[in-house]
Amino acid sequence: MEHFAVVQSIIRAGLAGDREALDKQVMRLCERLEKAGESKEVATLHRLRAAARDTQEMVPSRVEMSRGQVSGELLEPGINAPIDRETGARLCSIDFQSGDKRAPVYSGGVLDTVEGLLREWTNESALQAVGVSPTRTLLIYGPPGAGKTVTAHYIARRLNLPLVTARIDGLISSFLGTTARNIANLFDFANRYACVLLLDEFDALAKLRDDPQEIGEIKRVVNTLLQNLDLRKNFGVTIAITNHDRLLDPAVWRRFETQLQLGEPDESARESLIARFLQPIDAPNSTLRVFSYCLAGRTGADIERICTAAKRTLALSGESHDGPGLFHALSSVLARTPHHDHVPARILATDQEAFVSLIANDGALSLKQTEIGEATGYGQSRVSDLKKAKRHLLLMEASHAQ
């Protein structure tokens, strides 16, 4: 049997309950299969990994760190956040992490980066033996809706620490000197308690810099921020988030030990997100692939919005909660959205039969006729007729002409 050695290693790791080794061996098998040109099998394995990730994340993790490893007093509910002395507005919100326990869904090596970072905290002594300490500063950047804020929440939850979130624009005051004092007060608060400090919408600083009237003030603000970020290293974990990485001051950028880029989900991440956001409906695999095909290029937040809208539509339509029901719901959700850059979404929004013809003819998608039937409700002979008629071609030509 081909690849038997890898299969044997997979079984060994599985029997020993070693998830890390198991994952490594599965990746090895994927590489071998990829080399042998078996990309369909590789895709299936990736989907299995993604689905397993979703359920594993429901069980308590061994990587959880005790609060003791970050210094500071215990931050309890009831403790008041610092305020802007001029306006009385709170400088941060405090979150004790009672929300979604699952990890966000990531593409490529992002999960490995996040998990690697968390592992540093459980292996602090190993790091200390070579004279380094765990990563304390992380910059997350990427487009809106990519999962940056949910990632920060996830990290704090895994570290078992409350999350103190400040928005830079909330710290900026129109009163001279107040901004710098707000920043100092915020950091004093975060350093006093064991917590993760999240500086969300960090690019507000960069926007300020573009305003010529603010030059003096922004210099002061950036300097205060840099000083506070440097001092903070001795206390706790700090995460900053920005949409516009290139606008950030290089001096600020350098302060962060790890930079994490989030983007649009790849195919397997899209399917996991769709499966998650369609819950409690258990969509068949073929439906996940059809949804994913239509939603290529969308962010996690878009996918969540579209899946929620599809569930609403389905619930009111009276159709059954299965592949065809979801297919019709997705079609009407897309039809209500004014413009689609992505051709499959545009075709499904206008003509369901043309869409069936499109997926039946798309070799890269490689959906079997039975799977197309399961996902759309069309009988096999109809799928076969639609495939031959190539009805989608007309619509595709119309899209090119636009």
Ligand X SMILES: Nc1ncnc2c1ncn2[C@@H]1O[C@H](COP(=O)(O)OP(=O)(O)OP(=O)(O)O)[C@@H](O)[C@H]1O
What is the per-residue binding string for Mg ion in 115-154, x denoting contact by CB under 5 A? ---------------------------------xx-----
The pair phi, psi for residue 261, each rounded to 5°, is: -100, 125
Given 162, 236, 300, 323, the residue binding ligand X (CB under 6 A) = 300
Q: Is 185 in the site for Mg ion (CB under 5 A)?
A: no
Contacts of 200 (CB under 8 A, 6+ apart): 149, 152, 165, 166, 167, 168, 241
Using an 8 Å Cβ cutoff, are 168 and 222 in contact? no
Q: Is 145 in the site for ligand X (CB under 6 A)?
A: yes
**Segment (H or E) for 374:** helix 369-376
CB of 101 to ligand X, least distance (A): 12
CB of 51 to ligand X, least distance (A): 14
The pair phi, psi for residue 171, each rounded to 5°, is: -85, -25
d(CA 21, CA 234): 34
Q: Which of ligand X, Mg ion, none does 243 bind, CB closer than 5 to 8 A by kind?
A: ligand X
Q: Candidates 212-220, 284-292, 297-305, 329-337: pick the segment binding ligand X (CB under 6 A).
A: 297-305
The pair phi, psi for residue 57, each rounded to 5°, is: -70, -10
Q: 262 or 372, CB closer to ligand X?
A: 262
Residue showing the smallest CB distance to Mg ion in the complex: 149
Q: 196 or 386, CB closer to ligand X?
A: 196
The pair phi, psi for residue 163, each rounded to 5°, is: -110, 125
Q: Is 301 in the site for ligand X (CB under 6 A)?
A: yes
CB of 157 to ligand X, least distance (A): 13
Residue showing the smallest CB distance to ligand X in the complex: 300
Q: Is 144 in the site for ligand X (CB under 6 A)?
A: yes
3-state helix, strand, coil in the chain (%, to 5): 60, 10, 35
Using CB under 5 A, count the residues that bind Mg ion. Answer: 2
What is the per-residue binding string for ligand X in 201-240, x denoting contact by CB under 6 A? ----------------------------------------
Q: Is 242 in the site for Mg ion (CB under 5 A)?
A: no
Q: Is 165 in the site for Mg ion (CB under 5 A)?
A: no
What is the per-residue binding string for ligand X in 96-125, x denoting contact by CB under 6 A? --------xxx-------------------
The pair phi, psi for residue 22, each rounded to 5°, is: -60, -45
Any idea what the Cα angle at residue 293 is, between residues 288 and 298, rounded to 5°?
Answer: 100
Q: 136 or 148, CB closer to ligand X?
A: 148
Using CB under 6 A, count the residues that bind ligand X. Answer: 14
**For the chain, how far is it from start to end, CA to CA, in angstroms?**
53
Q: 41 or 266, CB closer to ligand X?
A: 266
CB of 61 to ligand X, least distance (A): 17
Bond before 280 cis per omega within 30 degrees: yes
Using an 8 Å Cβ cutoff, are 84 and 182 in contact? yes
Q: Is 299 in the site for Mg ion (CB under 5 A)?
A: no
Q: Tokens in use for 64? A: 């959880």
CB of 286 to Mg ion, least distance (A): 33
Which residues of 151-295 form beta strands (DSSP E)?
163-167, 196-200, 237-242, 258-261
Q: Is 147 in the site for ligand X (CB under 6 A)?
A: yes
Question: Sheet containing 237-242: which strands, arranged edge to edge?
Answer: 93-95, 163-167, 196-200, 237-242, 137-141, 258-261
CB of 242 to ligand X, least distance (A): 9
Per CB under 6 A, residues contacting ligand X are 104-106, 144-150, 243, 300-301, 304
Binding residues (CB under 5 A) for Mg ion: these are 148-149
